[in-house]
Amino acid sequence: MSDTQSTNLPPDLAAFGDSYAELFGEVPPLPKAKFEFSSEIDPEGLRLAEKFRAHAFYNKTFDTKTTQLMLFGMLLVMGVPAAHHHAIAARRAGASWQELHQVTELASAVVALGPFNNGSAILNELRHQEGEHNQQSNK
């Protein structure tokens, strides 16, 4: 793994680590720390986590650009700094500024409209329950 601590990683773990550098142009700090620590403490747990990541990130349904655009949006909605790295990966995979900006707009709409939609549904349900309750108590 080119951008992490020079440890004697088994070849499969080193390949997983190299996939970060390929995707992002470097190994970001969180995965770097994960490899440094977990490869020593629980290499099998790291191996399982990285197999899951590889299965999800490199799937047959979406190309890398689409996957990275979706991850960028999901992480924006969550407010996670890792969104930055997925924007980089999306650009490296061919995403335009327009596509990235559109994802930002979609993420903003989801965050803004989610509480409005959920709150309205809750209030509507409560109003109906109170109406049913009032009708029953008026009988």
Counted domains in the chain: 2
pTM above 0.95, yes or no: no
Tell me the average pLDDT of the chain. Answer: 91
Taken in order 23, 25, 30, 34, is the CA torsion positive or negative? Answer: positive
Residue 98: pLDDT band with limits 50, 70, 90? very high
| Domain range enclosing 22 | 1-58
Question: What CA–CA distance (Å, rounded) separates 21 from 37?
Answer: 18
The CATH number of whichever domain residue 116 belongs to comes to 1.20.1290
Query: Do the beta carbons of residue 93 and residue 64 sit within 8 Å?
Result: yes
Same domain assignment for residues 6 and 20: yes
CA-closest candidate to residue 58, choices 50, 49, 67: 67
User: Residue 3 has what pLDDT?
Assistant: 47
Same domain assignment for residues 45 and 72: no
Residue 135: pLDDT band with limits 50, 70, 90? low
Same domain assignment for residues 54 and 85: no
Instruction: Give 41-94 as a DSSP string.
Output: H-HHHHHHHHHHHHHHHS-SSS-HHHHHHHHHHHHHHHT-TTHHHHHHHHHHTT
User: Residue 5 has what pLDDT?
Assistant: 45
Percent residues over pLDDT 90 in the chain: 86
Query: Do the beta carbons of residue 38 and residue 22 sit within 8 Å?
Result: no
Residue 88 in this model has a pLDDT that exceeds 70: yes
Residue 8: pLDDT band with limits 50, 70, 90? confident
Task: Convert 33-44 to b/e letters by CB count within 10 Å (16 or more is b).
Answer: ebbbebbeeeee
Percent residues over pLDDT 70 in the chain: 90
pLDDT tens string 11-52: 999 999 999 999 999 999 999 999 999 999 999 999 999 999
